[in-house]
Structure 1
Amino acid sequence: VGLSASLIPFLEHDDANRALMGSNMQRQAVPLIRPQVPIVGTGLEAKAARDSRVQILAEGDGTIEYVDGKEVHIRYDRTEADRLVSFEDDLRVYNMTKFIKTNQETCINHKPAVKKGQRMKKGDFLTEGYAVQNGEVALGRNLQVAFMPWKGYNFEDAIVINEKVVREDLFTSVHISEYELEVRDTKLGEEELTPDIPNVSEEATKDLDENGIIRLGAAIKEGDILIGKITPKGESDPTPEEKLLRAIFGDKAGDAKDASLKAPNGVEGVVIGKKLFQRAKKDKNAKIREKASLEKLEKVHEKNTTDLKDLLLSKLQTLLKDKPSLGVANNFGEMQIGKGAKFNAKNLATLDYANINPLGWTGDSSIDDPINTLLHNYNIKYNEELGRYKREKFNISIGDELPAGVLKLAKVYIAVKRKLKVGDKMAGRHGNKGIVAKIVRAEDMPFLEDGTPVDIVLNPLGVPSRMNLGQIYETVLGWAGLKLGVKFATPIFDGATVEEIAQYIDDAKLPTFGHSYLFDGETGERFHQKATVGVIYMIKLHHMVDDKMHARSIGPYSLI
């Protein structure tokens, strides 16, 4: 089975069609700001989180020296032999990914998973977030569920949700939208980014910077100016009133019109990022500045590569110490240091370490192996420095690559917090999907004999015809896990049996297979029949009502 199918507990009790849906819908999960590890898993959640390579892992044993919301400092325990072959310091600084937009317009945000002074082992998680918690995949939340009809509101796969779930932000997610505006060279002249927009109030432009781009941290709502731009307009015969206004206020307003980018309908959020891309200007002063910048960059690059090579040579001399050579050749077979010649500072300095045969140092593996590790680490470090130099040189000399006719490109990133609302799609891991149809006050939800209101009410008719009984097994075992304070790993095709589940239910002193009497939250009366109650793992999917809702008053018939 694939990765997502291997994360479905009791897969063997689900029909193949529903298992396929369950697999696909896990890929559509939205990362929540408060995710939870499932009580009933398959044991592969930690493996999936580790192999995703989204989180930062400790590269060796060490101690956390400093931690904040943006970075983690860890001092690794290293021997002298480790230090000899490495170009890294004992103290490593890891920068976390903060609020980065994904292609699905969700948000990657790392949080520290460690404390200052904590001891770490190799492979331990330093961060969490983005659907990973406690080193395990955490796509959704564990909810107290009742399988029963509720006033027709969960008819045909609709879902009834407790308002507490919304209020406590259990299914709240952050979404990032990108808005961009191009500055073009028109027939009438160049457009311009500016906060000085004709016939626009100062109040509307108070948050724009000198480039006309809205400041970071600004709260925006629909219609607000995100990027201020003016574009030249053709001269028309001005009326006497316009002539008078131009005479009084200058002619700025006369030859340009507002072409700003405004926040579209329904958008309300906070500006968390902005970028301005532009071509490198090629006037005389710009060329002089470019030349000076390139010379400075060249000097820094030269110093960095020289320092790196000097460090390599000192490490090699420590390792080789007048040992005789077996004959060091380059990758083309040309001899660089003859057989029997002793290694010294002079002949080691002549070698091209990016192009060297790993065989032929001394013949002693206790020396040759560290040397080859050292050269591997050197080449990694050298290529990092070379890449940095080439990128910076490209940015200085060419600038940003923009399409023909585009002089500048401004981008603004807006973060929006979305709570769970009516119309959002939710699903379990067994293909049991549905749409939130009603959010009910906690006091009106069905409650158990001890007064606990359930979090979610699902329709029992969604189970038999679809033959995804895994959700019932999960519900019952999940309740036992919640009561006992334990988590279960029930591997697919080798999961817990009915007898084992019954034993855990018994240990937790819960009713057999979760069959409980529920009481109507509105009247307080007991429902006639028992219902299956338990804890089910639910995820919020990417199909959200805010993206789907569309309305228009007028427009062409052909618009679909």
Structure 2
Amino acid sequence: MDVAPEQLVSIAAALIPFLEHDDANRALMGSNMQRQSVPLLFPQAPLVGTGLEEKVARDSGAVIVARRAGTVTRVTADEIIVDAGGDLATPGDQPLARLHQHDRYRVKKFWRTNQDTAINQRPLVQLGQAVASGEIIADGAATEGGELALGSNVLVAFMPWYGHNFEDAIVLSERLVKDDVYSSIHIQELELHVRDTKRGQEEITREIPNVSDESVVDLDERGIVRIGAHVKPGDILVGKITPKGETELSPEEKLLTAIFGEKAKDVKDSSLKVPPGMAGVVIDVKIFSRIEDQVVEKDRGERIGEVRRIENDEKARINTVMLDELGHLLQGQDVALMLKAGTVEEYLASGTKLTAATLQEVDLGDVDLKTLRVANKPSNERIRSSIDMAAQERARVEERAEDQIDKILQPDELPPGVIQLVKVYIAEKRKISVGDKMAGRHGNKGIVARIVPEEDMPFLPDGTPVDIVLNPLGVPSRMNVGQILETHLGWAARILGFEAKTPVFRGADEAEIGVLLRLAGFRWAAESLRLQHAAPAPESAAITRMVQDLKKVAGEHTTMLEAGAGLLGARGASAETKELFQAVRGFLTDAARELAERELAQRRQELEFHRAPRDGKNGGRPAKELEKAAGATPAEALEASAKPALAALLGPKAEADVDAAADELLRAAGLTPAGKARLRDGRTGHPFEGEVTVGSIYMLKLSHLVDDKIHARSIG
């Protein structure tokens, strides 16, 4: 347990950061709801994870892993080919060794799951890229860069918003809809049964009675919708007619029969149509049949053609490798016997030396390989083994192709009374909408109640609108404080550009989060206040080193508020961390000087305004206080604007309190040391009364979508 505390909990629970700060009931909900997440169109790996994400993605089989090291020779949406032949011995040591030097990986494209979601793998490698054995070369359905990615990182504010997030309701920004942040692909399977009825067989056809030509424009000559067609509710997918019983015709029907002939009366339209509430693109059609007809023949013909194409490609590859190898083996040999294919005429005279130039002129495809002999006996054996091995490989490919064709030609097993079955697969893109269920990883679930225009959302002091507004009352009673720690650490990770890994029971503590919040705050403040001097931007390695030092120098019970930037310069910290402290101090001094200069420039402007002539008269005499203020020192200007700690940085260094100065700079930018911000209402532009916790949180879209639940029925 001391080595890996994650063993105490399940894999799903070990994916929850700050699990130790969550109530057990909520942790249970969090681990269960991760299993219900919908694979998104653009998944994002979490900014705050536990370090198990890559391991889970790899071990689940969702990603494609390179079996051997090599170079990528082909990348398409459907396959990746890796040439692993770098370590092959000389040609001929192992006959046709080059045949097995390429590893082929099939990429799954939009496979349907039992939940109607889509499994779609995406290649991560490029042509010519070198890959190592065990490297992840393609992402899966809910992974990004080989890491598990069940949802998206969004900017969150914990605050009530006009009552719309009452009782776990969630307010979302329209940006998430517009940018497809929570869009997902769903694949629906629709079936049509063709039965043998008492009145005769039903029939799949394009000729449907009382249906206009526009309605069948996307059907092929068999009456089945083409792949790639955009369909909407009511569109015909498969045309089918059913024989009618012999019923007494009304006078109107008799008239129609007299005009249009007999066919109209004895069949009715029973086509497969797109049900209400579904729209999308047809991505596949599968036909199963017990009987032979043109519908099945065309489908089988296409499938057999594909098998034959693959067979011919494989045979051509075997032939190319064999001829290449024979060229190497024949070089420098003396011909004993070389006949033209299908004749007894010599291709090259006996005793001819096969130099590289001679071999370039020889087309081995025109040579009878069965009778080919050279003077050197060991070489003859190697040539013979290569030719025999190629023949065996070709036979194996042919046998495999014949087996596949036999399976295609066998009649399908269908339920009693059903003679044909057609399955149509429709892919639809679903954006997040009101009524969808969302959740974080801490059991913090809710229903989307309102999707608000970006300009109406609460916004940060620099004008950035938040993405999602959660109710703060959902935290204390549920006792899942992990989401707040995740929000703060996510804010720091988002701004400083690192990925946080906080394993269960040995993750980041308050002191580390407090220091990281301040470092992120400096960077944010520098951009928000448009300071000329950039804030310190430590690399990921420097942040890791700093966190290790903080574990030594910070007290066990140091809170987020107490953990200031001063800890970086504490005794016991490494030289790199102390350098970072000096950089922070230097930045704060530069920022103080710049803010003081701005303050003085504003005062001078006011002074000029008072002195300027107006209405043809000389300017008034400014107040003595204004003249005095305009002539103040930078330190005095800062003290006058309630920034004494920043002013102290411009005086003797010994008197300066870095932590207090840092807090003053953050407050000047609209942030607080506790990770809160002064937000403004997007509707009115007025600031909210209190400071609001803002940060980055990882939210999932769950497979309880309103599109599947909304349902209308008659009550008549």
TM-score range, shorter chain: 0.7 to 0.9
Q: Distance in 2 between matches of 1:276 and 1:185?
A: 17
CA drift of 1:389 comes to 5.1
1:50 aligns with 2:63: no
Q: State how 1:186-201 maps to structure 2 within 5 Å.
A: 186-201=197-212
TM-score normalised by structure 1 residue count: 0.79
1:265 aligns with 2:276: yes
1:408 aligns with 2:569: no
1:36 aligns with 2:49: no
User: Is the 1:276–1:411 Cα contact (8 Å) retained in structure 2?
Assistant: yes
Q: 1:227 aligns with which of 225, 230, 238?
A: 238
- Determine the structure 2 residue equivalent to 1:176: 187
User: Is the 1:164–1:455 Cα contact (8 Å) retained in structure 2?
Assistant: yes
Q: Which runs of 5+ in 1 are unaligned?
A: 312-380, 556-560
Paired residue type of 1:421? S
- Determine the structure 1 residue equivalent to 2:19: 11
- Determine the structure 1 residue equivalent to 2:691: 530
For the structure 1 residues 386 and 49, does the alpha-carbon distance in structure 2 shift closer, same or farther, using more than 3 Å as the test?
farther
User: Is the 1:113–1:128 Cα contact (8 Å) retained in structure 2?
Assistant: yes
User: Is the 1:278–1:400 Cα contact (8 Å) retained in structure 2?
Assistant: yes
CA drift of 1:382 comes to 11
Paired residue type of 2:183? T
User: Is the 1:21–1:431 Cα contact (8 Å) retained in structure 2?
Assistant: yes
Q: Distance in 2 between matches of 1:60 and 1:385?
A: 27
Q: Distance in 1 between matches of 2:179 and 2:488?
A: 24
Q: State how 1:353-368 maps to structure 2 within 5 Å.
A: none
Q: State how 1:93-492 maps to structure 2 within 5 Å.
A: 93-239=104-250, 241-279=252-290, 281=292, 390-396=403-409, 398-492=410-504
User: Is the 2:176–2:467 Cα contact (8 Å) retained in structure 1?
Assistant: yes
1:488-520 Cα distance to aligned partner (Å, 9 max, x none): 110001111101111111221264231111111
- Secondary structure in 1 matching 2:486: helix
CA drift of 1:71 comes to 2.1
TM-score normalised by structure 2 residue count: 0.62
Q: Which structure's residues are more often strand, by fraction? A: 1
1:494 aligns with 2:655: no
User: Is the 2:64–2:140 Cα contact (8 Å) retained in structure 1?
Assistant: no
1:106-134 Cα distance to aligned partner (Å, 9 max, x none): 00111111111211111112211411111
* Structure with greater contact order relative to length (CA < 8 Å, sep ≥ 6): 1
- Determine the structure 1 residue equivalent to 2:347: none
Q: Which runs of 5+ in 2 are unaligned?
A: 1-8, 323-393, 523-671
1:443-466 Cα distance to aligned partner (Å, 9 max, x none): 111111111111100000000111
Q: Which structure's residues are more often helix, by fraction? A: 2
User: Is the 1:64–1:118 Cα contact (8 Å) retained in structure 2?
Assistant: yes
Paired residue type of 1:55? V
Q: Distance in 2 between matches of 1:399 and 1:204?
A: 32
1:553 aligns with 2:714: yes
CA drift of 1:64 comes to 1.4
Q: Distance in 1 between matches of 2:397 and 2:434?
A: 50
- Secondary structure in 1 matching 2:64: coil
1:376-420 Cα distance to aligned partner (Å, 9 max, x none): xxxxx9999977655542432x32111111110001111111000
Paired residue type of 1:185? D
- Determine the structure 1 residue equivalent to 2:536: none
Q: Distance in 2 between matches of 1:536 and 1:14?
A: 15
CA drift of 1:552 comes to 1.9
Cα RMSD (Å) of the superposition?
Answer: 3.0
User: Is the 2:81–2:104 Cα contact (8 Å) retained in structure 1?
Assistant: yes
1:320-360 Cα distance to aligned partner (Å, 9 max, x none): xxxxxxxxxxxxxxxxxxxxxxxxxxxxxxxxxxxxxxxxx
- Determine the structure 2 residue equivalent to 1:80: 88
1:152-208 Cα distance to aligned partner (Å, 9 max, x none): 111100001111111100000010100001111111111100010011111111111
Number of aligned residues: 473
CA drift of 1:242 comes to 3.8
Paired residue type of 1:26? Q
User: Is the 1:445–1:520 Cα contact (8 Å) retained in structure 2?
Assistant: yes
- Secondary structure in 1 matching 2:521: coil
- Determine the structure 1 residue equivalent to 2:74: 66
- Secondary structure in 1 matching 2:208: coil
User: Is the 1:231–1:258 Cα contact (8 Å) retained in structure 2?
Assistant: yes
